[in-house]
Structure 1
Amino acid sequence: MKLNRINFLLVATLVLLGYFTVQAEQDQLQKPILAKQDDVETPFSDGLPKELSPEQLDNLETEKYTFQTEVSRLMHLIINSLYKSREIFLREIISNASDALDKIRFLSLTDPEALKSNSDLRITIAADPESKTLVITDSGIGMTRKQLKDNLGTIAKSGTSEFLAKMEQNTDAITQIGQFGVGFYSVFLVADKVTVASKSNDDEDQHIWQSTAVDDFTIAKDPRGNTLLRGTQITLHLKPDAYRFLQEKNLKELVYKYSQFITFPIMVWSSEEREVPVIQDIDDDELIEESIDEEPKTEKRIVHDWHHVNVQKPIWMRDSKDITEKEHQEFFKSLTRDTADPLAWSHFKGEGEIEFRSVLYIPSAITDLFYNNIKTEQSNKPIKLFVKRVFISDEVELLPKWLSFLKGIVDADDMPLNVSRETLQKHRSLRIITRHLIKKALDMFTNLSKSDPAAYKKFLAQYGTILKYGAIEEQSYRKKLTSLLRFSSSFDTEPFSSSLDDYIERAKAEQRSIFFMTGSNIAEIEQSPFIEALLARGYEIIYFTDPIDETFVENIPGYNGKMFVNIAKGDVDFAEDDKDMMRDNELENKFRPLTEWLVSTLNQHIDKAVVSRRLTTSPLAIIAPRNGLSGHAQRVLDAQGVNHKNPNMEQIMESMRSQKKILEINPNHPVMETLLDYVEQDNITKDMTNLIQLLYETTSIKSGFPLKDITQFAGRVEGLIRKAVGISILEEAKVRVKRAEEKTEEERLADEEMKKTNIIYETEDDIEHDEL
């Protein structure tokens, strides 16, 4: 069918359009196609950014800066020591990008203009195999020139020294790098050159930061102009042995592995084979007849586009029954940057005065950073607060300190979005949420103790001390926390084997006390003379080996109607009958001459001497007063240096340490019976007095008290040995050693020359720095 002029022009136009479309698609094999949004080109339109040209690089007006010492040390460790966990660099950069997006979204709640420069909040990853670069871009809050210098040239002191020390001891610690705020530097695991372009709403210009991970970096105004609108773009020039990170498949797997639960879209520039229409070339003289029924011809071609990787719905918004164990484990790792699976979790929805959803996790191990933050009153940032899926803050203290080892998410529906973080902390809704979280956490611990005793023992090994701290601090939860604790005892010496409820169930008739003994370890307690009489009578003794235990029981005086009794302090009540009491009184009268002599002989150390009701095989025991320090408590406090931190505490400690003790004697021991005879016959010699002093000192050690004068004790032992082998106390050892030579004149002159140079190298790093 012949075409009229109008039809001919229409077809010709379509043919020409088809021709240019084919040409564009052919060009696209070399360069990714543009993705338009509302007909406006965004920083995410192209897969790859416009590179700085050689001319631009040559003409850059840069300022050079030197890295902070800690940064240089860190990068030296990363570059030269840490290779097996290199892939974590992508997790760290994505997490930083997510934080930047969170910040700009939070600002936009009170300042709608904050997102005006770019409302498209996302993270993109694009690899360029040709230039061997990997580009990660976000539309977050961005950085000013000053922030580029401060944030990427120095490290905040908090946690850095601890991190570097751990890294130098064990390179496996790199897996925890993000927890110390130094995650950016992990890029040097895979890159030998890094370029960071960033644009902030607070700076009219876009700037670039560059470094080759030696000891300095440069900052300059970006000659490409404001290509980002707002946000940060990191370009990694990969090392040859890191080219595998240019592969699309590997990038997607890493995003899914580490960052699938990031709340912002993560897009990877991807290629795929698609069927595209084929438009044949035509001669100018040819006419084409329309054919409605003819199928259009297609061919397979490689096209590029963004692929959304983290499509998973926020885990806390889903039904808890639909979430697998594996999903919880992966979400926990994404949330915390931890590499180990959590011990347990609680996923729940709070209803009533305020509606919210939450997920709480117990990390498998506690970090030193937790205790450092407790000491310095810093937040452990355990909970991320969201309101209607919008991240608000991780600075809000939703958990008390003793529960801040938990990690998790809280997403509330009924809280205002336009309040400051300071006001938010005092919001009534948060107090309600906190009560719910504490209850759910305690329920989680209880369920773990019943469902998986082995895992619960691991939990107590890590967090038992913190639960005791919580019981001391929080009277409201004291009984519940105490019931969750587990201890070793004379019934079962395995760690964390018995609860206080178990102990009470096994208690003897009319037993009114919970007997316990403190020590550094179970072996030490089992050798103590204090436990002899109780074990002989069939009483169970709880073995406290945690340094906080004695403080714990002082603040928790009883449990379910029974009082704690430290068998190393004060009197012990065995609930004995009148006949036993009468026998004890008779023994007191019988041994009074000996006890009075012991008090006069050992008056520097003891306040009184009494007949013991707790000894069966040992001759003596030294007991602290009821309100005094036991031997174990004194050793713990001395080791912690408590007395040196506070002058007032030093005086109190010295007063308690110098308290005179109570000496208990075993009336059934042959040594005590013989001594009684010698005292009654007034047949006490100087040697016998010296032996009594030695016996007291050895008993002091056995009772857990440190000796005041170790030299005097050693002298007495040596004197006893000399007498036993027949050597005079006055006979001295023969000294046969050669005296060291005095310095020669040449050595003295060399020392003088060294002084004149006045060079002092404190460390090997200082020497290396001067050489450079």
Structure 2
Amino acid sequence: MDENAPSAKAEHHAFQAEVSRLLHLMVHSVYSNKDIFLRELVSNAADACEKLRYLALSEPDMLAGDETLAITIESDEVGRRLSVLDTGVGMSREEMIDNLGTIARSGTRAFLDGLSEAKDGGALIGRFGVGFYAAFMVADNVRVVSRKAGADEAFAWMSDGKGEFTVEPVGLADAPLRGARVELHLAEDAADYAKEATVERVIREYSAHVPMPIRIRSVGGEARAVTDGSALWMKPKSAVTPEEYKEFYGTVADAFDEPALTVHYRAEGRHEYSVLVFVPTQKPFDLFDPARKGRLKLYVRRVFITDEATILPGWLRFVRGVIDSEDLPLNISREMLQTNPILEAIGRNVTNRVLGDLAKLADTDTANFERVLETFGP
């Protein structure tokens, strides 16, 4: 008997019609990279932790029993299972049905119609909060066990993604103390995601800077930290050492030289975002290669989105680093960005700031500026 099979107490629910369509469209057309499913689950887990942190400001008792806000990913290569656990706000029975069975957003039908007609889901923009369903790209069965912060009951949500889901009460011994555990039984062609090394690779690439520490462990093994929940670009300039800047530049630019110019600031006002970008000393060997992968990385709330968005003009293609937006709208897959006025405004601001700092460099360090001009100038 399947240990995750619904019990006699399970309530059976049909997916909202739009969810069924979404599952089909996401798996078949929207996501070009299956790694994205883990980014989405980690992002959701981080959001749940952030929500609890905010609620606990006015209701400290919600953290009773465990003040730790963290994400743990457990892999079971033999059982072909992967679980993402968080100590966030958790979900009640009603919230499971609402959040995991329906998409209660205005304009959803038109959105899905447009998505089905588009050649690539990246043509549409909008925060629809549907990243959870990306789990079905790699899993033939998904189970979510959750206990809402402050509650004395827990529930399990289960589905194979083929039309319906079940929700049932579970014993507290089978539930996290608080938060949620998303359990995936991986399909045969996705078995690689049950390997700890694969999990670590994906986390380091896509979720290294989410604002919660992430640990990974194999079943029966000890958990080890992969990220510490901090992002260098979120720190004030006064708190960052030259060595930290140099190390981060080497990582983000995949370079071994030292940056000629470091631009680090936070913009607040109509749009909020953080910037940490560098002008290299040496010309990258593939600077003019049209197939070159970008080195200007776009994040939203510490979650990596893409390094292929056109943010700065072509004549600043040598700039490397990170731009992290707090409020940028994203497309359904978070893989591609449509021409967007917010991103355009950010690009103009960063361009002006880089040019302004280069002008200052010309006054304060003429030799360094002339080297930049010789390397990247006309």
Whether 2:163 is the aligned partner of 1:215: answer yes
Deviation for aligned residue 1:133: 1.0
Whether 2:13 is the aligned partner of 1:95: answer no
Whether 2:258 is the aligned partner of 1:310: answer no
Aligned with 1:343 (options 311, 315, 320): 311
Deviation for aligned residue 1:74: 0.4
For the structure 1 residues 169 and 245, does the alpha-carbon distance in structure 2 shift closer, same or farther, using more than 3 Å as the test? Answer: same
Cα distance in 2, alignment partners of residues 89 and 240 from structure 1: 16
Task: Kindly report which structure 2 residues correspond to 1:194-213, keeping only aligned pairs within 5 A, or say none.
Answer: 194-201=142-149, 203-213=151-161
Residue 117 of structure 2 aligns with an amino acid whose one-letter code is Q
Aligned with 1:191 (options 139, 143, 149): 139
Residue 117 of structure 1 aligns with an amino acid whose one-letter code is G
In 2, are the aligned partners of 1:127 and 1:247 still within 8 Å (CA)? yes
Residue 211 of structure 1 aligns with an amino acid whose one-letter code is S
Q: How many residues align?
A: 291
In 1, are the aligned partners of 2:75 and 2:218 still within 8 Å (CA)? no
For the structure 1 residues 160 and 253, does the alpha-carbon distance in structure 2 shift closer, same or farther, using more than 3 Å as the test? Answer: farther
Whether 2:22 is the aligned partner of 1:67: answer no
Cα distance in 2, alignment partners of residues 170 and 159 from structure 1: 16
Residue-by-residue CA offset, 1:504-551 (whole Å, 9 max, x unaligned):
xxxxxxxxxxxxxxxxxxxxxxxxxxxxxxxxxxxxxxxxxxxxxxxx
Residue 248 of structure 1 aligns with an amino acid whose one-letter code is E
Cα distance in 2, alignment partners of residues 222 and 145 from structure 1: 11
Whether 2:299 is the aligned partner of 1:332: answer yes
Counterpart position of 2:342: 405
Q: List alignment gaps of at least 5 residues for structure 1.
A: 1-52, 272-302, 346-358, 370-402, 408-437, 453-772
Residue-by-residue CA offset, 1:201-233 (whole Å, 9 max, x unaligned):
353211000011111110000146463111000
Length-normalised TM-score, structure 2: 0.66
Aligned with 1:134 (options 79, 82, 87): 82
Task: Kindly report which structure 2 residues correspond to 1:284-295, keeping only aligned pairs within 5 A, or say none.
Answer: none
Structure 1 vs Structure 2 CA RMSD? 3.8
Residue 405 of structure 1 aligns with an amino acid whose one-letter code is I
Aligned with 1:168 (options 85, 110, 116): 116
Whether 2:350 is the aligned partner of 1:444: answer yes
For the structure 1 residues 176 and 317, does the alpha-carbon distance in structure 2 shift closer, same or farther, using more than 3 Å as the test? Answer: farther
For the structure 1 residues 65 and 202, does the alpha-carbon distance in structure 2 shift closer, same or farther, using more than 3 Å as the test? Answer: farther
Counterpart position of 2:317: none
In 2, are the aligned partners of 1:197 and 1:234 still within 8 Å (CA)? yes
For the structure 1 residues 368 and 235, does the alpha-carbon distance in structure 2 shift closer, same or farther, using more than 3 Å as the test? Answer: closer
Cα distance in 2, alignment partners of residues 134 and 366 from structure 1: 29
Deviation for aligned residue 1:80: 4.0
Residue 306 of structure 1 aligns with an amino acid whose one-letter code is A
Task: Kindly report which structure 2 residues correspond to 1:134-153, keeping only aligned pairs within 5 A, or say none.
Answer: 134-153=82-101
In 1, are the aligned partners of 2:301 and 2:324 still within 8 Å (CA)? no
Cα distance in 2, alignment partners of residues 252 and 135 from structure 1: 14
Cα distance in 1, alignment partners of residues 197 and 124 from structure 2: 25
Cα distance in 2, alignment partners of residues 263 and 84 from structure 1: 26
For the structure 1 residues 243 and 441, does the alpha-carbon distance in structure 2 shift closer, same or farther, using more than 3 Å as the test? Answer: closer
Cα distance in 1, alignment partners of residues 186 and 125 from structure 2: 20
Cα distance in 1, alignment partners of residues 105 and 177 from structure 2: 32
Residue-by-residue CA offset, 1:700-723 (whole Å, 9 max, x unaligned):
xxxxxxxxxxxxxxxxxxxxxxxx
Counterpart position of 1:76: 24
Deviation for aligned residue 1:113: 0.6
Aligned with 1:244 (options 180, 189, 192): 192
Cα distance in 2, alignment partners of residues 197 and 80 from structure 1: 27
> Which structure dedicates a bigger proportion of its chain to strand?
2
For the structure 1 residues 123 and 367, does the alpha-carbon distance in structure 2 shift closer, same or farther, using more than 3 Å as the test? Answer: closer
Residue-by-residue CA offset, 1:658-679 (whole Å, 9 max, x unaligned):
xxxxxxxxxxxxxxxxxxxxxx
Counterpart position of 1:751: none
For the structure 1 residues 138 and 368, does the alpha-carbon distance in structure 2 shift closer, same or farther, using more than 3 Å as the test? Answer: closer
Cα distance in 2, alignment partners of residues 160 and 233 from structure 1: 27
For the structure 1 residues 335 and 342, does the alpha-carbon distance in structure 2 shift closer, same or farther, using more than 3 Å as the test? Answer: farther
> Which structure dedicates a bigger proportion of its chain to helix?
1
Cα distance in 1, alignment partners of residues 176 and 7 from structure 2: 21
Residue 308 of structure 1 aligns with an amino acid whose one-letter code is A
Deviation for aligned residue 1:248: 1.0
Deviation for aligned residue 1:240: 0.5
Counterpart position of 2:268: none
In 2, are the aligned partners of 1:92 and 1:183 still within 8 Å (CA)? yes
Counterpart position of 1:739: none
In 2, are the aligned partners of 1:101 and 1:138 still within 8 Å (CA)? yes
Whether 2:179 is the aligned partner of 1:253: answer no
Structure with max Cα Rg: 1
Q: List alignment gaps of at least 5 residues for structure 2.
A: 254-275, 278-295, 314-321, 333-339, 359-378
Deviation for aligned residue 1:126: 0.8
Percentage of identical aligned residues:
31
Residue-by-residue CA offset, 1:681-709 (whole Å, 9 max, x unaligned):
xxxxxxxxxxxxxxxxxxxxxxxxxxxxx
Cα distance in 2, alignment partners of residues 87 and 110 from structure 1: 37
Length-normalised TM-score, structure 1: 0.34
Residue 86 of structure 1 aligns with an amino acid whose one-letter code is K
Cα distance in 2, alignment partners of residues 83 and 361 from structure 1: 22
Counterpart position of 2:374: none
Task: Kindly report which structure 2 residues correspond to 1:317-716, keeping only aligned pairs within 5 A, or say none.
Answer: 317=235, 319=237, 322=245, 323-324=248-249, 326=253, 329-330=296-297, 332=299, 335=302, 338-339=305-306, 340-341=308-309, 343-344=311-312, 405-406=342-343, 444-447=350-353
In 1, are the aligned partners of 2:126 and 2:329 still within 8 Å (CA)? no
Deviation for aligned residue 1:81: 4.2
